[in-house]
Amino acid sequence: MKCIAKIDIQKFKKITDNITTDEVILTNNQIQHIKEHHPNDYETYCHFIKTIIEEPDYIMCDKHPYTAILIKKIIKYNKNFEIVLRLHTNKDILGYKNSIITFLKIGNNKYKQYVRNKKIVYTNTRL
């Protein structure tokens, strides 16, 4: 398990204000989950994960506590992506990190639906 990206904690403060680390990990169990539930997405697009985490178009609240949805359009490839990220707080086990729950490619309609219906806590002002 290694750090694959770092978040800007300030962008996530509206989800929880007690985030303990900026490091993001992706465990082997979660890679297996992604491969099983979203066939070929990890193998084909995993090289975008760091960019999605560090430069999301939107950060939104998820229905689960301390959890964020990050979406990003990679314009060069005309593809949209979603990452569900569990944030590590001071209520969690010491030493754990922010962790990717899932990663997948999403269509334009899903991207627009998220923007319309989810609570947005951060948006990239360059959009």
Tokens 């899903």: give the residue: 110
Quote the pLDDT of residue 125: 63
> What is the per-residue pLDDT across 22-49, written as a single tens digit (0 to 9) for each?
999 999 999 999 999 999 999 999 999 9
Q: What is the mean pLDDT of the chain?
A: 95
pTM over 0.75: yes
Quote the pLDDT of residue 126: 65
- Which whole number is the average pLDDT over 84-96? 92
Instruction: Please enumerate in sequence order all residues whose Cβ is within 8 A of that of 74, keeping only pairs 6 or more positions apart, or say none.
Output: 48, 51, 80, 81
Quote the pLDDT of residue 93: 86
Closest CA to 60 of 125, 4, 115, 1: 115
d(CA 54, CA 110): 21
Tokens 């959890």: give the residue: 67
